[in-house]
Amino acid sequence: MQFGADHGGYELKEKLKQYYDEKLIFKDFGTDSLESVDYPKIAYLVADSVASGECESGILICRTGIGMSITANKVKGIRCALCYNEKVGILCKEHNNANIIALPADMISFEEAVNIINNWLNTKFAGGRHEIRVNMIER
């Protein structure tokens, strides 16, 4: 598991790292403070790590999750889903086999983030007709 956040997602990332400290093995790609950073740099670090196989999944966090998800999806092999509730966290894995999720720190609570992550991690890709569609995504 990879974590990456810009300054807008830093506080949520730190709380999640503390919560998952003994539950998951993860790598933190930053940022390490509230100082302004360029979110694409962090999104690319996490996405490249997942795309290369270094890690099988990642979590990106910024204020809205939008910039992180757009950037991550520029990397071949990445299927990053913006997850703003538990149901989206389940369906993005079940139907789209999302290998990265982006969380909107300004729009969800810590508890909601944990529920989204746990459901995403515990959901299996359904395959079948969904696999056919997922295979159509990359050009």
**Which residues are known to be catalytic?**
62, 95
Q: Please check whether residue 59 is in contact with residue 98, taking contact to mean a CB–CB distance below 8 angstroms.
A: no
Q: Enumerate helices (H) and strands (E) in the chain, giving the number of each.
A: 6, 5
Q: Where are the beta strands (DSSP E) in 42-126?
A: 58-62, 80-82, 100-104
Residue 78: closest CA among 114, 119, 49, 41: 49
Query: Using CA atoms, how far apart are residues 4 and 135, in angstroms rounded to an integer?
Result: 26
Query: Using CA atoms, how far apart are residues 5 and 86, in angstroms rounded to an integer?
Result: 20
Q: Residue 54, SS3?
A: coil
